[in-house]
């Protein structure tokens, strides 16, 4: 499967793959102002999340896309509840239609 191998300062951090949507983010904490590398994604039935890795000034991040046999297990797996997702979609669709945004 195709995935991402990620290093911070030449140290292996995480090998990730998600069959639908792998996402690599650099986020700033609003209260502390510090940055962190966040990796998340989804497959057909679950949202996947790997713990944030704090970043400091001068850190170097390397991301390599490649075929891989093994990945780092996610720190959090949350099932996608399709019924709840559909209900949320219908509510949002109605709100946007009423505002003539759809």
Percent of the chain predicted with pLDDT > 90: 32
pLDDT of residue 95: 93
How far is the C-alpha of 50 from the C-alpha of 41, rounded, in Å?
A: 9
Domain count, the chain: 1
Beta bridge partners of 79: 46
Find out whether 36 and 55 touch, Cβ atoms under 8 Å.
Answer: yes
Per-residue pLDDT of the chain (102 residues; tens, 9 = 90+): 788 889 999 988 887 776 677 888 899 988 998 999 988 888 878 888 888 899 999 999 999 988 888 888 889 998 878 788 788 899 999 999 999 998
pLDDT of residue 74: 87
Taking the chain, what is the end-to-end CA distance rounded to the nearest angstrom?
Answer: 37
pLDDT of residue 50: 86
Q: What domain range includes position 62?
A: 2-98
| 83 φ/ψ angles, rounded to the nearest 5 degrees | -65, -45
- Residue 49: enclosing H or E segment and its boundaries? strand 46-55
Place of tokens 């704090």: 54
Q: How many CA atoms lie within 13 A of 74 on its CB side?
A: 18
Q: 9-30 pLDDT, tens per residue?
A: 998 888 777 667 788 889 998 8
Alpha-helical segments (H) within the chain: 82-98
pLDDT of residue 54: 92
């Amino acid at each position: 499967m195709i995935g991402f191998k990620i290093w911070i300062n030449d140290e292996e951090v995480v090998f990730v793959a998600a069959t639908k949507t792998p996402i690599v983010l650099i986020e700033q904490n609003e209260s502390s102002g510090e940055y962190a590398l966040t990796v998340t994604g989804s497959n057909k039935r679950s949202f996947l999340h790997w713990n944030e890795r704090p970043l400091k000034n001068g850190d170097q991040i390397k991301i390599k896309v490649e075929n891989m046999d093994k990945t780092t297990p996610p720190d959090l797996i949350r099932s996608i509840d399709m019924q709840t997702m559909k209900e949320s979609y219908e509510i949002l669709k109605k709100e946007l239609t009423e505002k003539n945004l759809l």
